[in-house]
Amino acid sequence: NKPLIPNQLCTNQPCTNQPINYLTMKLPIYQVDAFSDSLFQCNPAAVVPLSEWLEDSVMQSIASENNLAETAFFIPKGPGFQLRWFTPAVEVDLCGHATLASAHVLFQHLGFEKEEIAFQSRSGILKVRRDNDWYVMDFPADEIQRVTQIPKAVTAGLGFSAKEVYKGRDDYMVVVETQTEVEQLNPDFRALLKMQSRGLIVTAPGDSVDFVSRCFFPPAGIDEDPVTGSAHTTMTPFWAAKLGKSQMVARQLSRRGGLVKCVQSGSRVKLGGQAVTYLQGEIML
């Protein structure tokens, strides 16, 4: 009369207290600090290489369990790979740092030998090439428009009425005058949660770089993102036109920080960054 162990399968065999092994799959997982040349800085991303897609709900659960800004999943597709990204709350259309992290895993750990990787994604073909110890990502440039009716959630979230606001593909972008203003931001994340967008970028000219920013994504489950590659596809065209130059260096001013090399090239933006592997392990499903 031994008690049943939880969720024990019904069989014709006597019940025992021996644990049942439900393990059916092991998946490799890597965690990479993207846009960084050393550990514990910039933006950590998880990368899970797959041979075929899992159920969307399983990938979302893995991303929620990781609790990082993004978890990237990729499968082989033609001569390259198909790539998807999940925050802890939703799947997103574009993520720069997790793309950089995925390329790093392929180059450094999975033996990819060509100099350039082509990823198929919701945002079209994204290419990443190796340039010594840097990676250069080729992304579509965002198109922004000036906003005349500033959403209440943006004003409430920032605590001031912004004078220069734009809307891009996914995010609102607020332009302020100085780096100090960006550094001193203290957003109300609950207010920003009500934005009808993925998030909010706040940017200004930099003191020692061309431009700086901070990026907030409460609707996507991320209060402040450490370094946001996709946001630089929005900022790069703006600052290229504003500063009259196509090659720039940007810094994201989150607590972990990060440096991004930006090049405006027609309808494309090239973003350069480094990456370091933090951990390598297995997910047991």
Catalytic positions are 70
CA angle (215 as vertex; 156, 145 as ends), nearest 5: 75
Positive or negative CA dihedral for 62, 280, 219, 139? negative
Q: What are phi and psi for residue 66, nearest 5 degrees?
A: -65, -35
**What is the DSSP secondary structure assignment for residue 64, as one 8-state letter?**
H
- As a whole number of angstroms, the distance between CA 211 and CA 205 comes to 4
The number of helix segments (H) and strand segments (E) in the chain equals 6, 18
**Burial 265-276, CB ≥16 within 10 A → b, else e:** eeebbbbbbbbb
